[in-house]
Chain A
Amino acid sequence: MIRVITAISILGGIGALFGALLAYAAKRFAVETDPRVDQLLGVLPGANCGACGYPGCSGYAAAIAQGAPTNLCPVGGASVAAKVAEIMGVAADTMERQVATVYCRGGKAECGTRFQYDGIPTCKAAQAVGGGDKLCTYGCLGYGDCFRACTFDAIHMDENGLPVIDEDKCTGCKRCVLACPRNIIGMRPASALVQVRCLSEAKGRDVRAICSAGCIGCGLCEKACPFDAIHVHNNLASIDYSKCRNCGLCVSKCPTKVIVEQLGTRPKAVIGDDCVGCTVCKKACPVGAISGELKAKHVVDPDKCVSCKLCVEKCPKKTITMQ
């Protein structure tokens, strides 16, 4: 027993002695660092993902103190950028949150294979064997390289062999974008709620032959769009997000369901009591959802309204609201 006590006390004594010496040295050799660096490190997410371009959060914190931009952290997004800007005493640079998007809807059920691939189960390896086993050379191989690359648990593989991105968890770090050997995953602003989920530039007939969920370049979306925001180039529809108003008309028209939207419940336009019956909204509505006679209160048919908000902007009395 006495040996145990001696051992503990001797070793503890040595430890305490060194501890005291180190504590003294810490004071004696204290280096004045920029106190903002510690504060910045406190507000940064601490994921050390490197998406800002600096080696970890501490590297970025030091760089901000030296004058680096405050909005480089995609993980923290606008809220962290605002806090960082507050510490640095500069105006926050706004940044639109970017989320990863899988531009392919052709899972196992929609798009077949050219041959049976039994090799290493990664997309990179499959891609190296004759360009992948998928019939479509633009489509998702489904071996989950993106799923393994994601450090934020935001990507899951569904039963159809397609990655599903949880946009609430996605931080926009772009690891999945880099991991995908076919460049199927891209970044888009989180506010862009309608996407064409296909990258195939093959002719419509060729796409139809191999995949039931590919863009065939039929142009129905182009005709449906009231805002001239979607166009077919090289047999592939693409959306101009500066014009798109997330109305979803193209989504409902697309014959292969390759255009998808994230809008859950859409707010509908409601005309208030200040309406003087000027008919401006009626003329502005691209889908004919507004009806009413001149100088009488107009009404919106909620079944037809696509929440494009054009009437809200056009109304001279500012009496239309989205509810």
Chain B
Amino acid sequence: MNLLIIFIGAILINNFVLSRTIGICPFLGVSKQVETATGMGLAVTFVMTVASAVTWVVQTYVLERFGLVYLQTVAFILVIAALVQFVEMVILKSSPTLYQALGVYLPLITTNCAVLGVTILNIDSKYNLLESMVHGFAAALGFTLAIVIFAGIRERLALADIPKPFEGFPIALITASLLSIAFLGFQGLL
């Protein structure tokens, strides 16, 4: 039951992009097409789930044991950077098209604050290993959900007749904020 609450909570109520406003860079950058947005979402999902597990292990068995909790941020970034490198290699091997489509945003997952954010939130919320992984997975699903919905809207916006000053990023930002308000409706779910 606890896991289900974490799962639903991370996707809908505390949606990383729309409620906690972290991970905005890829949210705005890779959301022009649903296809690339889905790819980005999948890459982030993989990285965030594995990063949640690895950082929990690093935190519990290395940092806390040796009293090095103050090195948390540095150590976590190290873990995330290595993971992203790994994911990049796998994607390049398995799907060059997806690799081309993600372009510069794949290496940018390294500095995607959503990934670092979820790992630190796991520790701060005192989750155990399983809870951390579920939370990381669900948060990434929430990210994917938000970015795919947003990309769908932006695909339509590209064809819409928008006043000149609002073309491009202005209308995208307004859309993002409206989407964020819509997600506020989930606040009373649990």
Knowing A29-B90, A31-B93 touch, does A18 contact B71 (C-beta < 8 A)?
Answer: no
Nearest-neighbour CB distance to chain A for B127, whole angstroms, equals 21
List the one stretch of B61-69, B111-119, B146-154 in contact with chain A: B61-69
B71 contacts which of A11, A21, A22, A25 (Cβ < 8 Å)? Answer: A11
A151-174 interface code vs B (CB 8 A; 1 in, 0 out): 000000000000000000000000
A3, B82: Cα distance in complex, Å: 25
B79 contacts which of A7, A14, A19, A29 (Cβ < 8 Å)? Answer: A14
Knowing A6-B68, A10-B66, A14-B62 touch, does A29 contact B89 (C-beta < 8 A)?
Answer: yes
Knowing A14-B78, A18-B78, A18-B79 touch, does A7 contact B71 (C-beta < 8 A)?
Answer: yes
Task: Determine if B68 and A29 form an interchain contact, defined as CB atoms under 8 angstroms apart.
Answer: no
For chain A residues 184-202, which have a beta carbon within 8 Å of chain B? Answer: none
Task: Determine if A22 and B82 form an interchain contact, defined as CB atoms under 8 angstroms apart.
Answer: yes
A7, B67: Cα distance in complex, Å: 9
Is B181 part of the contact surface with A, judged by Cβ < 8 Å? no
Is A316 part of the contact surface with B, judged by Cβ < 8 Å? no
A19, B86: Cα distance in complex, Å: 10
A7 contacts which of B68, B86, B90 (Cβ < 8 Å)? Answer: B68
For chain A residues 22-46, which have a beta carbon within 8 Å of chain B? Answer: 22, 25-26, 29-31
Task: Determine if A15 and B78 form an interchain contact, defined as CB atoms under 8 angstroms apart.
Answer: yes
Is B159 part of the contact surface with A, judged by Cβ < 8 Å? no
Please give, as numbers and ranges, the residues of chain B lying within 8 Å of A14 by CB-CB distance: 58, 62, 75, 78-79
A19, B96: Cα distance in complex, Å: 24
A25, B66: Cα distance in complex, Å: 29
Please give, as numbers and ranges, the residues of chain B lying within 8 Å of A3 by CB-CB distance: 67
Is B92 part of the contact surface with A, judged by Cβ < 8 Å? yes
Residue of B nearest to A18 (CB): B82
Please give, as numbers and ranges, the residues of chain A lying within 8 Å of B82 by CB-CB distance: 18-19, 21-22
A6, B62: Cα distance in complex, Å: 11
Please give, as numbers and ranges, the residues of chain A lying within 8 Å of B89 by CB-CB distance: 22, 25-26, 29
Please give, as numbers and ranges, the residues of chain A lying within 8 Å of B96 by CB-CB distance: 31
Is B128 part of the contact surface with A, judged by Cβ < 8 Å? no
A180, B178: Cα distance in complex, Å: 41
A3, B78: Cα distance in complex, Å: 20
A30, B89: Cα distance in complex, Å: 8
Chain A: interface residue total (CB-CB under 8 A): 16
Nearest-neighbour CB distance to chain B for A38, whole angstroms, equals 15
Task: Determine if B71 and A29 form an interchain contact, defined as CB atoms under 8 angstroms apart.
Answer: no
Task: Determine if B92 and A29 form an interchain contact, defined as CB atoms under 8 angstroms apart.
Answer: yes
Is B187 part of the contact surface with A, judged by Cβ < 8 Å? no
For chain B residues 50-79, which have a beta carbon within 8 Å of chain A? Answer: 58, 62-63, 66-68, 71, 74-75, 78-79
Please give, as numbers and ranges, the residues of chain B lying within 8 Å of A10 by CB-CB distance: 62-63, 66, 68, 71
Please give, as numbers and ranges, the residues of chain B lying within 8 Å of A11 by CB-CB distance: 68, 71, 74-75, 78
Is B21 part of the contact surface with A, judged by Cβ < 8 Å? no
Please give, as numbers and ranges, the residues of chain B lying within 8 Å of A18 by CB-CB distance: 78-79, 82
Please give, as numbers and ranges, the residues of chain B lying within 8 Å of A25 by CB-CB distance: 85-86, 89-90
B93 contacts which of A15, A21, A29 (Cβ < 8 Å)? Answer: A29
Task: Determine if A22 and B86 form an interchain contact, defined as CB atoms under 8 angstroms apart.
Answer: yes
A15, B58: Cα distance in complex, Å: 12
Nearest-neighbour CB distance to chain B for A279, whole angstroms, equals 70
B92 contacts which of A6, A15, A21, A31 (Cβ < 8 Å)? Answer: A31
Please give, as numbers and ranges, the residues of chain A lying within 8 Å of B79 by CB-CB distance: 14, 18
Please give, as numbers and ranges, the residues of chain A lying within 8 Å of B62 by CB-CB distance: 10, 14
By CB atoms of chain B within 10 A, which of A3, A19, A25, A30 has the most?
A25
Nearest-neighbour CB distance to chain B for A30, whole angstroms, equals 8
Residue of A nearest to B62 (CB): A10
Please give, as numbers and ranges, the residues of chain B lying within 8 Å of A21 by CB-CB distance: 82, 86
For chain B residues 17-58, which have a beta carbon within 8 Å of chain A? Answer: 58
B84-103 interface code vs A (CB 8 A; 1 in, 0 out): 01100110110010000000
Nearest-neighbour CB distance to chain B for A59, whole angstroms, equals 11
Which positions in A face B, CB cutoff 8 Å? 3, 6-7, 10-11, 14-15, 18-19, 21-22, 25-26, 29-31
Which positions in B face A, CB cutoff 8 Å? 58, 62-63, 66-68, 71, 74-75, 78-79, 82, 85-86, 89-90, 92-93, 96
**Sampled A-B contacts (7; CB under 8 Å):** A3-B67, A6-B68, A10-B71, A11-B78, A14-B79, A18-B82, A25-B85
User: Which 3 pairs of residues, A with B, have the shortest CB-CB distance?
Assistant: A18-B82, A29-B93, A29-B89
Given known contacts A7-B66, A10-B68, A15-B78, what 16 new A-B pairs fall within 8 Å (CB)? A6-B67, A6-B68, A7-B68, A7-B71, A10-B71, A11-B74, A11-B78, A14-B62, A14-B78, A14-B79, A18-B78, A22-B85, A22-B89, A25-B89, A30-B93, A31-B92
